[in-house]
Structure 1
Amino acid sequence: MSDNSKAARNKQLALHGFTQFAAGNIDVLRTLLAEDFIEHSPGNPSGREAFIAYIAEAPVARARLDLKRVIADGDHVVMHYHMVTDDDPRGTAVVDIWRLVDEQIVEHWDVVQPVPDAAQVPQGMF
């Protein structure tokens, strides 16, 4: 499989998973994450079952997720989105980086930043 077709397939898988998760289907992670999934975010556990249990209780599981862009390159897919919860109307800017192998996510990194007052970012966060 060429790098372009691998990137396109990985992007499709990540988009499907994101769409399902954003709609409240946490179980999609059971097929998308590898059993020995590695998590690089501080405080988040590695391993598929431990990560799913953790994320099911995290604010992201109840948030509105507005996907802004997706970039795919070979084994990696990058998603940039706006996460908004009822108690935080400004929300959070999130960039997730996923590495996929054999159509499963094997690693995850993220960058998370609270969205400041609009006056602080005249060009916007997104």
Structure 2
Amino acid sequence: MTQDTVAQRNRDLVVHGLAEFARGNIGVLRELLHEDFVEHSPGNPSGRDAFIEFIASAPVAGARLDIKRVITDDDYAVVHYHMVEPGGGRGSAVIDIWRLVDGRITEHWDVVQPVPEPASIPHGMF
């Protein structure tokens, strides 16, 4: 398999997974996450089952996720998106980084930043 093919497969997996998750299909995570999934975000549990239980009740589970950009290679997928929780105002800018091995997400990092008043970001967040 060429690098471009692996990168495209990784892109397709995370974009599909994020879209399904945003539709309320939490079960898609069982297909995507490796059993020994490692979470690097403070306060979030590692392990597929523990993470799914945690994320199912987290605010992101009911949020609107508007993907702005996706960058992938043979090992990683990076997604930059606008997350707006129900009644969440301007929302947050989120960058998720996923490491994939053989079509399964094995690790996750993220950065989340509240979207400030438009006047304080003249070039926009996205």
Find out whether 1:35 has 2:35 as its counterpart.
Answer: yes
Rounded Cα–Cα distance in structure 2 between residues aligned with 1:67 and 1:23: 14
Question: What is the count of residue pairs matched by the alignment?
Answer: 126
Rounded Cα–Cα distance in structure 2 between residues aligned with 1:73 and 1:31: 20
Identity %: 65
Structure 1: which 5+ residue stretches go unaligned?
A: none
What are the residue-to-residue correspondences of 1:47-86 with 2, within 5 Å? 47-86=47-86
Structure 2: which 5+ residue stretches go unaligned?
A: none
Paired letter, 2:81 = Y
Rounded Cα–Cα distance in structure 2 between residues aligned with 1:102 and 1:48: 16
Report the TM-score when normalising by structure 1: 0.97
Rounded Cα–Cα distance in structure 2 between residues aligned with 1:21 and 1:85: 14
Bigger proportion of residues as strand:
1
Q: Deviations over 1:44-72 (max 9, x none)?
A: 00000000000001000011111111110
Q: Deviations over 1:61-96 (max 9, x none)?
A: 011111111110111000010010123210000000
Rounded Cα–Cα distance in structure 2 between residues aligned with 1:24 and 1:118: 30
Paired letter, 2:116 = P
Cα deviation for residue 35 of structure 1 reads 0.2
SS at match of 2:25: coil
Report the TM-score when normalising by structure 2: 0.97
SS at match of 1:90: coil
Which residue is equivalent to 1:13? 13
Rounded Cα–Cα distance in structure 1 between residues aligned with 2:16 and 2:86: 25
**4+ residue segments displaced more than 3 Å:** none
Which residue is equivalent to 2:95? 95
Cα deviation for residue 33 of structure 1 reads 0.2
Rounded Cα–Cα distance in structure 1 between residues aligned with 2:23 and 2:84: 14
Paired letter, 1:53 = E
Rounded Cα–Cα distance in structure 1 between residues aligned with 2:72 and 2:35: 22
